Structure 1
Amino acid sequence: MKHIYNLFYFGYLQAISCLFPLIIFVTLALSERMTPFFLPRYDFILIVCILAQIFLLITNFETIDEMKVILVFHIIGLALEIYKVHMGSWSYPEEAIFKIAGVPLYSGFMYASVASYMCQAWRRLDLKLVNWPTSWMTIGLGIAIYGNFFTHHFLYDFRWVLKILVVILFFRTMVYFTIDQTIYRMSLPISFVLIGFFIWIAENIATFFGAWAYPHQQSDWEIVHIGKISSWLLLVIVSFMIVAQLKHTKYEKLAQNKNAAL
């Protein structure tokens, strides 16, 4: 009975952690019919995202440190979007005032929402990592994965090689999380797959509401190809490694300061 309760409570914590992504999805859905006539839809979404972030910060739903992580993801995501749109991977067909190289500025918030979820879930579930690899390994692999999103357009696509390296590097890494004082654990590679799958579902919802469009969705909406889970899996890995590395660095500094005080 305890585990059944914890399962529902786990779902509740996950839902709370997804508040910012939920705000974005609701805005995408409603803006198709409720966008002010004097403001382009993409710019309306951008304003809602900014106001939502300010609200989450002043209400202490998100901390200053979490906001810094979210800002990093916003910049990383926007850079990737500009490149991918330039290469024709997808497009943003609607007009907007705040648009750079064909990419509306709100797009960075979609990547930031992934970071928001990870930071919230990390704090609410009290995540702890066991057998986390050394920093140079995780940083190097993260750079290689992110770089492959750019280079695979004109070089060999190393995604399957990178996935094998991920399994090798994190094979022994376990994620421990706490639900109502009960500690559970999960293999880190399995958690990557699960998060990537649910982001793929979210991507289908986002494209359905016109957040962006893949080439095969230009005339009519179609389901996003199942192979995109592979891309989201790698992006999730990069996202998780950045958050984990920042958390790890913060814990090390706190430990050093505590030892110095003693």
Structure 2
Amino acid sequence: MRHFINLLHFGFQQARSCLFPLVIFLALAVTKFVEIPFIPRYDLILFICLMTQILMIVFKYETIDELKVICVFHLIGLALELYKVHMGSWVYPEEGWTKFFGVPLYSGFMYASVASYICQAWRRFDLRIRNWPPSWLVVILSAAVYFNFFTHHFIPDLRWVLKVLVILLFLRTFVYFTVNNTTYPMPLSLSFVLIGFFIWIAENIATFFGAWAYPNQEQTWSLVHIGKISSWLLLVIVSIMIVALLKRLKGKREEVKSNTYKSWLKNV
């Protein structure tokens, strides 16, 4: 019975962590079927995303540190969008005032919402990672995964090689999450797969509401190819690696400050 209650609590906290993605989906759905005068759809979605972000900070739903991480992901995602649209991987067919080189600025918030979910879930479930591999290897692998999204247009796609390297690097790494004072372990690699799968489901919902369109969806909507799960899997890997590294760096800074303060107290 206790584990069933914990499962319900787990689902509730997951839903709370998904507030930002939920707002984006609602904005896409409403603006898809309800025409708003005087402002293009993409710009209205951008305005909704900006207001949501501001309100989440004002009402302390998100912390300033989490906002910094989200901004990093917004820039990373926007750079990827600019490149992918230029290469014809997908398109944003509608007009917009805040659309540059074919990419509306709200698109960066879709990546930022993934970071928002990770940060919120990290805090709500008090995540702890054990047997984290050497950070320099994590940085190199993260960079390789991210740049493969760019380079596979010119050289062979290395995603499967990178996936094998991820499995090998994180083979002994577990994430521990706490629900109602009960801690559960999970292989970190499994969390990559699960989050990537649910983002693929979200991608199908987003394309149905016209967030963007792949070449085979420009005339009529169709299910996003299941192979896209692998792309989202790699993006999730980069996301969690970046968040984990930033949190480790913050933890080390706080540890240094704490040790410095204790040393000062001894000398007073």
TM-score bucket of the superposed structures, by smaller chain: over 0.9
Q: Quick check: which has more Rg, 1 or 2? A: 2
Q: State the SS of the aligned residue for 2:220.
A: coil
Q: TM-score, normalised by structure 1?
A: 0.99
1:91 corresponding residue in structure 2: 91
Cα deviations across residues 25-54 of structure 1 (Å, max 9, x unaligned)? 000000113342111000000000000000
Q: Structure 1: which 5+ runs fail to align? A: none
Q: TM-score, normalised by structure 2?
A: 0.97
Shift of 1:156: 1.0
Whether contact under 8 Å (1:35, 1:44) holds in the other structure is no
Cα deviations across residues 120-144 of structure 1 (Å, max 9, x unaligned)? 0000000000001111011100000
1:43-192 superposed matches below 5 A: 43-192=43-192
Count of aligned positions = 262
Q: Structure 2: which 5+ runs fail to align? A: 263-268
Shift of 1:151: 0.2
- Distance between the aligned counterparts of 2:35 and 2:102, measured in 1? 20
Q: Say yes or no: does 1:199 pair with 2:188.
A: no
What RMSD, in angstroms, separates the aligned Cα atoms of the two structures? 0.6
- Distance between the aligned counterparts of 2:33 and 2:80, measured in 1? 29
Could you list the structure 1 runs, at least 4 aligned residues long, displaced by more than 4 angstroms after superposition: none
Q: State the SS of the aligned residue for 1:212.
A: coil
1:41 corresponding residue in structure 2: 41
- Distance between the aligned counterparts of 2:49 and 2:35, measured in 1? 14
2:213 corresponding residue in structure 1: 213
Cα deviations across residues 60-104 of structure 1 (Å, max 9, x unaligned)? 000000000000000000000000000000000000000111000
- Distance between the aligned counterparts of 1:35 and 1:167, measured in 2? 46
Q: State the SS of the aligned residue for 1:226.
A: coil
Q: State the SS of the aligned residue for 1:164.
A: helix
Q: State the SS of the aligned residue for 2:119.
A: helix
Whether contact under 8 Å (1:78, 1:105) holds in the other structure is yes
2:259 corresponding residue in structure 1: 259
- Distance between the aligned counterparts of 1:234 and 1:86, measured in 2? 21
- Distance between the aligned counterparts of 1:229 and 1:34, measured in 2? 31
Percentage of identical aligned residues: 64
- Distance between the aligned counterparts of 2:32 and 2:156, measured in 1? 39
Task: Return the letter of the residue paired with 1:138.
Answer: V
Cα deviations across residues 197-241 of structure 1 (Å, max 9, x unaligned)? 000000000000000000000100000000000000000000000
Shift of 1:185: 0.7
Whether contact under 8 Å (1:195, 1:236) holds in the other structure is yes
- Distance between the aligned counterparts of 1:109 and 1:6, measured in 2? 31
Task: Return the letter of the residue paired with 1:117.
Answer: Y
